Structure 1
């Protein structure tokens, strides 16, 4: 038998009322509650820190001009100004020779130059040492270089610059030299259509090193839709610092697609920390050469599995559905005719009714510079004759959104109906892109 202590008896499972009034217990509970509240505050600030801060580097605007960089000159003259002028003219001649330009007079050559980019320079009393870049106007120089014909270009490809350094993998979590090198790259003369995010806002959450290892096509399609890209390029820079301020060895790897397909790799070395930006600029040009070679070999074709599109019914199943609908329609017509005239034979022409229009789903892209444009486009499409329904599947305010439209007809009929509503329609297979 259980032995009970003298005094008031309590069930072993019931809380002791006196313990609830214990000052020490109350103090512990208060401390736990305050700690939990502080954790919520700190956690909220940490979440904001993932997308806040000054981490974005806007990419330079691309132009079609022909840029030639890394031209080294060393000129001596009577004065610093004269040495500099002669150095620039020498850089123009060397750059023209580097891109295979024909022999032309200096005066004509100078008229083809739109600007000179100073990468590094040293001025003395009568000497000029510099590394320069020369930009030739494509409209004037393209004909002489024989580059006026059609050139194969890639589809829009999202660029993800990854930096390995000190045991960490960084993309847009913080500003870094590799991101800056790609942002300052001028891709106007490249055959690769780079999509270069700035890294600001939610870019640091969407594009991380972990994202490059994902295989989910649905996840990748959502990310690519945010930036208007068809596929992804990954440029990895593994930077190994020998000692603070000393040489930096870079191992660079080029990859492509959601399956992270290997394209090529190479190494470069910067003699000091100050020379690191110049090395990264050269690495960007090397990456562009690798990507262009892959395009030439047909390796940069967008992955067809990324084009999820709208759900389509199997053709055989679709035919069965149509037969069933037609049989049901004939049966209803015959029953209606029998009820109206039971003593007469129904007219076969009256009973054989046409099958109803087949409702199909199509993917429609539409520009949404602001929320009002998004609502206006969605409402206009829903009000188009023949449209049974329209729902947004991807929203990108300030970019291109995507909706799925159910329509009683084929894609050509839908395109014609949208044009009648005042839209400009571009058709690519079973997909449409509309704008006003």
Structure 2
């Protein structure tokens, strides 16, 4: 006996639920496809490996020869001599100069039957050429700086979402001889979702800490290129702004101009070199240093400030010792001894100074934090180390007790407290 199966027909009550389930499944499929589209494709540009060799670029040559290969070799020889002269090297024969050259970089070249016109770069081996140039000594470098090149064009800010010439210029530049330790993301995979222009406007130190820890950096640099075309394919004017830090602080700016689209890569290479000079000068001037609020575990007080604090502590201890010695001769009898008993308890908890990072979204919250901290029991002094309205300010709090006791006192007054190494992070 055969059984006749009929197609499933949902009832009127089941139909809305079935339609909803199908719509949810389609939405999940579309969302997954959209996410894959955002992180797939040729987005990343891997940065070149940094070398400490001496790089001289932009050498223009125009030579001739018996054939194309001979003209090219003559051009490379001339580029070596011109680059060596640009470095101020002493007069040496070509045979010795050949031993100092590590590589020839072809930036642009045009080869004819007997003529060679090119723009070249020459890389000299630092170990061999350093002694002749007097630059073989080691130079101090900055802390690792996460570099986020931002391109502004047509009212759109892009970073790693798509490949662009500004990202390429930073990826291909040789920073081996720079005093700045650039950490250059490639922009591949999920980096294009994590590192966007919107990130530069964030003030949350917790969010910045997650990103910097992922790339092994101590702070952030934001070189911005704002390009404007006079007409398609025509002259390009670039306005470049150097910013740094989690608060997106302004450092310097300059303008450059390219005559046409073909000259844009050369202009961007010059801009990267100018940015490196700006950041290096800021490092030498002491303006470019890691923000101490980026990591509670790595907050450090400057040596000058630490010396002042140590001197103040020694002065307080000397005053206490003098007061104790002055009170000791006048003490006699049981009554005096009973009055003197609480004194060791009052001085048992030595005053210590801690760094406190407090969230200050506006000026009112900053003033409120100062007044509340100064009114906390056991706090004898509150000084301002750095102010960041709209971000996180750093205060120096002198407290008669340990860090955990200060954290408990602040929690009892309604603060959300995160404990670090000799530092606290608090917020409302």
- TM-score, length of structure 2 as denominator length: 0.64
1:124 is matched with which residue: 112, 118, 132?
112
- Looking at structure 2, the residues matched to 31 and 269 of structure 1 have their Cα atoms a distance apart, in angstroms, of 58
| More moved, 277-286 vs 187-196 | 277-286
| More moved, 103-112 vs 132-141 | 103-112
Distance 1:430 1:93, change over 3 A: farther
Aligned to 1:275, the other structure's residue is in SS state helix
1:284 is matched with which residue: 268, 272, 276?
272
Alignment of 1:179-328 (within 5 A): 179-309=167-297
Question: Deviations for 1:65-106, whole angstroms, at most 9, x for unmatched residues?
Answer: 111110001123333222222211111111112122222232
Distance 1:310 1:110, change over 3 A: closer
Q: Give the gaps of 5 or more residues in structure 1.
A: 1-21, 312-428, 432-436
- Looking at structure 1, the residues matched to 206 and 28 of structure 2 have their Cα atoms a distance apart, in angstroms, of 32
Alignment of 1:154-173 (within 5 A): 154-173=142-161
| More moved, 293-302 vs 134-143 | 293-302
Aligned to 1:64, the other structure's residue is in SS state coil
Report how far residue 249 of structure 1 moved. Answer: 1.9
- Looking at structure 2, the residues matched to 119 and 310 of structure 1 have their Cα atoms a distance apart, in angstroms, of 43
Equivalent pair of 2:159/2:196 in contact (CA under 8 Å): yes
Alignment of 1:32-431 (within 5 A): 34-309=22-297
Aligned to 1:274, the other structure's residue is in SS state helix
Report how far residue 126 of structure 1 moved. Answer: 2.1
- Looking at structure 2, the residues matched to 112 and 295 of structure 1 have their Cα atoms a distance apart, in angstroms, of 30
Aligned to 2:77, the other structure's residue is in SS state helix
Aligned-CA RMSD value:
2.7
Distance 1:40 1:101, change over 3 A: same
Aligned to 2:287, the other structure's residue is in SS state coil
Report how far residue 141 of structure 1 moved. Answer: 0.6
Distance 1:84 1:310, change over 3 A: closer
- Looking at structure 2, the residues matched to 244 and 310 of structure 1 have their Cα atoms a distance apart, in angstroms, of 50
Distance 1:166 1:27, change over 3 A: farther
Tell which structure's C-alpha radius of gyration is larger. 1
Question: Deviations for 1:375-424, whole angstroms, at most 9, x for unmatched residues?
Answer: xxxxxxxxxxxxxxxxxxxxxxxxxxxxxxxxxxxxxxxxxxxxxxxxxx
Q: Give the gaps of 5 or more residues in structure 2.
A: 1-9, 300-420, 424-428
Equivalent pair of 2:39/2:190 in contact (CA under 8 Å): yes
- Looking at structure 2, the residues matched to 35 and 275 of structure 1 have their Cα atoms a distance apart, in angstroms, of 51
Report how far residue 266 of structure 1 moved. Answer: 1.4
